[in-house]
Amino acid sequence: MDPFPSLDAVHVVGDRVLIRPSDDAERSSGGLYLPASVRSKETVRTGRVVRVGPGHAVPNPDYSASEPWTSDGEPVRYLPLQARVGDLALFLREKAVEVEYDDASYLIVPHGALLALVRPQHPEDAGYEP
């Protein structure tokens, strides 16, 4: 079930994520404490990932424009991103672009600007021990 139903029409492009920013309090909603040096410089911000783009575009080796009947159909494939909907993201503030949608503020952040992800255990992670 989608925790952000008003965003059904929003499609994030490429290697970007859409984040609902949290307040820049001393403690994040995930229980992560940000040191005073980080908060005073305001270089790092936190928020919840609400949408994830398809990933990094790479050429499809099976695609042949000259023989479309033998190809996979799409000239591009995507390498998926690490971020998932619901993750708490720590990201570089200067890389984020602020947007308004349905009277709410969101940030579009390139995946490369994400510093860390805090996530609850997902079913596909079962059995994984770091």
Q: What is the per-residue pLDDT across 92-114, written as a single tens digit (0 to 9) for each? A: 989 999 999 988 899 999 999 99
Note whether 92 and 43 are within 8 A (CB).
yes
Supply the pTM of this predicted model.
Answer: 0.69
Separate counts of helices (H) and strands (E) for the chain: 1, 8
pLDDT score for 125 = 59
CA distances from 117 to 8, 43, 60, 70 (A): 23, 16, 29, 40
pLDDT score for 112 = 93
Give the 3-state secondary structure of residue 92: strand
Task: Identify the CA nearest to 104 among candidates 51, 63, 65.
Answer: 51
C-alpha 126/C-alpha 121 separation (Å) is 8
Task: Identify the CA nearest to 93 among candidates 47, 42, 29.
Answer: 42
Token look-up 């305001």 returns 42
Which positions of the chain have pLDDT values less than 50?
1, 130
Which 3-state string (H, E, C) describes 94-111? Answer: HHCEEEEECCEEEEEEEH
